[in-house]
Amino acid sequence: MAESQTSQLCSEHNGVDECQHAMICPCCGWVNPLPNLKSEQSASCGQCGYTLIQNHAQWPQRVLALSVACLCMFVASVSFSLIGFSAKGAVQTISLTDLVSVLFHQHYLALATIALLLLIILPLSFLIALSYLASSWVLQRRWPLTQSAAYWCSVVQPWLMVDVFVIALLVSLIKLHSLAAIELGYSFWAYCFFAVLFVKLLALFDHHLLWSYCSDVTGKCVTECANEHELSIKSCHLCGLSVEQDCGICPRCHQHFKPVQRSSLKSTLALLLAATLMYIPANYFPVMTTTFLGQAKESTIMGGVLLLWQMGSYPVALVILIASVFVPSAKILSLLWLCWQCRENDSCSVQMRQKLYLLTEFVGRWSMIDVFVVALLSALVQLGALMNVTPGPAVLPFASVVVLTMLAAKTFDPKLLWRTDLSKKEQVLE
């Protein structure tokens, strides 16, 4: 097998005599015997093509180096001024920690809590936990609480939005450029460099490898490829361990197994209904109010897009339009259609439905750009009667839409799409 080659497990291992540990595809439920991968090789599902695992050369050393580098740049990001501006002789600057503290002092508690969690607590705790795991791996020592650290990394990883905040910073700078002179602090460049390293770290992150190190518990062995219900095995939704069908608690991460059943769609539909209800006030009410020399001007999400377009910032306007207007509505409609497809299968191929689900799950967090922009401007632009920016009543409903749609995508089980397709084929054969 050549370097950097993707292994199609179904075709290479179907009917093998040697027992290999099973890896069940989280998208379609296909049981794949796990091969021994060489450096820089990856293994994909034999049925749907989803990438199951990647074997990077010197993976723990690279993860440790990037984690420590990210921690150093994060410390630099909170130690100096982030951005500042001057208008009519008044100067205002903030750091990343000032952003949170100013919002708290201005009694914008919900917005301050969102900024504190997504910008400081979650990234910092993720880096500390991952550095702890990687260092224990590199030193070949099984330190205490490694399973707790792996659990935290697996749970937090989908909610990390460092790259989203960088785009929000750029949008805020463009909006401020028409009102005042902008000053970029040392922390701005440190945070941009931190974001680049962080994205690279997330590209290397593999919770399957983390859990395989944290515990000696191994998955069930198989000698053939089939659907998981045909072999009477199932996989843990958190660590990916394959066990017997009658197992109630994962022996590796101690999580209760979630059965794949159509009644689970009720949770997804309930979250989508709540997101739809929140989407109405999020677009109707103003998201931000700007006061300049005593004159207040309210702007909705769509109004902000039109303002950026009139300013000539066409790329940024398109980014906000896609991330804050198109993505939330498209995500709600896509998940509703996928829920319908779990009951009524049409001519659309199951591979296309799976790709739609993966795309929907990936783009959801980018809608948080507008929330970060409002938080930044509300903390920075506080010059009394001269100029100030305050959050509008649409901020929290819009943040709720983003969170609810992300949770809806997490509760939806794509395996139901493949079971529906399998049931249709069985009816045709009968």
* Average pLDDT value for the chain: 82
Average pLDDT of the segment spanning 128-154: 89
β-bridge partners, 336 = none
pLDDT at 372: 94
Q: ∠ at Cα 428 (426, 430), nearest 5°?
A: 70
* Rounded distance between C-alpha atoms, residue 400 and residue 368, angstroms: 10
pLDDT of residue 15: 39
pLDDT in tens, 64-97: 999 999 999 999 999 999 988 877 767 788 899 9
Q: What average pLDDT does range 374-392 have in this prediction?
A: 82
pTM of the predicted protein model: 0.86
3-state secondary structure the chain: CCCCCEEEHHHHHCCCCCCEEEEECCCCCEEEECCCCCCCEEEECCCCCCEEEEECCCHHHHHHHHHHHHHHHHHHHHHCCCEEEEECCEEEEECHHHHHHHHHHCCCHHHHHHHHHHHHHHHHHHHHHHHHHHHHHHCCCCCCCHHHHHHHHHHHHHHCCHHHHHHHHHHHHHHHHCCCEEEECHHHHHHHHHHHHHHHHHHHCCHHHHHHHHCCCCCCEECCCEECCCCCEEECCCCCCEEECCCCECCCCCCECCCCCHHHHHHHHHHHHHHHHHHHHHHHCCCEEEEECCEEEEECHHHHHHHHHHCCCHHHHHHHHHHHHHHHHHHHHHHHHHHHHCCCCCCCCHHHHHHHHHHHHHHHHHHHHHHHHHHHHHHHCECCCCEEEEECCCHHHHHHHHHHHHHHHHHCCCHHHHHHHHHHHHHHHC
- For residue 148, CA distances in Å to 89, 132, 198 come to 52, 11, 21
* Res 70: pLDDT: 97
Q: Which residue has the higher pLDDT, 394 or 39?
A: 394
What count of other Cβ atoms lies within 10 Å of the Cβ of residue 238?
20
Domain boundaries along the sequence of the chain: 6-57+217-244, 59-215, 261-424
Residue 401, judged by CB atoms within 10 A of its CB (0-12, 13-18, 19+), counts as buried
**Architecture in CATH for domain 261-424:** Up-down Bundle (1.20)
- The model's pLDDT over 216-253, given as tens digits with 9 standing for 90+, comes to 777 667 666 767 766 677 778 778 788 877 777 888 88
Kind of pairing between the strands at 6-8 and 41-44: parallel
Query: What is the residue type of 365?
Result: R
Amino acid at 130: L
Q: Residues 7, 37: contact at Cβ < 8 Å?
A: yes
